[in-house]
Amino acid sequence: MKEGKKKPVIVELELTHDCFCTDVPEKMKDGRIKYIAYTGSSPHTVYHLFEVKSHELDKALEMIRKHPRVREMQILRKTGNIAEIHVGADKDPSTAKALLKSKSIFIEPAIYEGGVEKLVLMAPSDESFKDFLGQLDSSFDVKLKSKRYLKEKDKLKLDLFRSTGFLKFKAAADLVTDRQLEAFQLASKNGYYDEPKRISIRELAEMSGISEAAFSELLRKAEKKLLPILADIMKVVK
């Protein structure tokens, strides 16, 4: 086996599969589900925590509750257009189970939107990553977005990011209101920060259903809180 094959590997994947996590966001225009944690299992049910975000939150939650793979759902907290839920679902193969079996970990929480599960994981080796893929059944369609081996300097960067960058960014993100964050995410998603810009403030405001001045102010406030912290993080990870 080549030496590189024994090193930890960081992989970015996109997956589609039969699950409420992908089904519900696919049917909701702005729906998004974020995976939080595995909490346990019984003979036929597996339990997980999720965060659900949608402007039609009640509709999204009802769709989850009625999904054929969902056995039970409890709303733990609901604020504005975000809810944290505890779900008991059919005990079928899942990415969380595959992670446990292959001794891999999420580097970032899995995000489900537009019918796709997006995740970044770290596996102890190529063999562990193959084991992860082997734990997924035939209903999973897997698209490899990127893959690279973890180097010694990367380990230092990850430690620094956890101890400095992440905490700073989390603190700044907590100060951003939902509307400011939505404006920032909409601008990012639609190419406002591309060079050249692919969309204008006026067009973003129209998409949001508010005035150009109001959208510009929301975006300016989000940038003021987030961009300085992002600059500090880049010093760590570069």
Tens-digit pLDDT profile for residues 147-180: 888 765 555 455 544 444 444 555 555 567 888 8
3-state SS class at 147: strand
157 and 44 co-located in one domain:
no
117 and 199 co-located in one domain:
no
pLDDT for position 232: 56
157 and 146 co-located in one domain:
no
84 and 164 co-located in one domain:
no
Range of the domain at 35: 3-150
Amino acid at 194: D
56 and 164 co-located in one domain:
no
Distance CA 230, CA 10 (A): 22
Stated pTM of the model: 0.61
98 and 142 co-located in one domain:
yes
Q: Which of 98, 133, 150 is the last residue of a domain?
A: 150
109 and 220 co-located in one domain:
no
Name which of 35-44, 135-144, 166-175, 211-220 the model is least confident about. 166-175
Distance CA 193, CA 212 (A): 17
pLDDT for position 154: 56
142 and 158 co-located in one domain:
no
pLDDT for position 167: 47
Query: How many domains is the chain built from?
Result: 2
113 and 214 co-located in one domain:
no
Closest among 227, 144, 214, 233 to 188, alpha carbons compared: 227
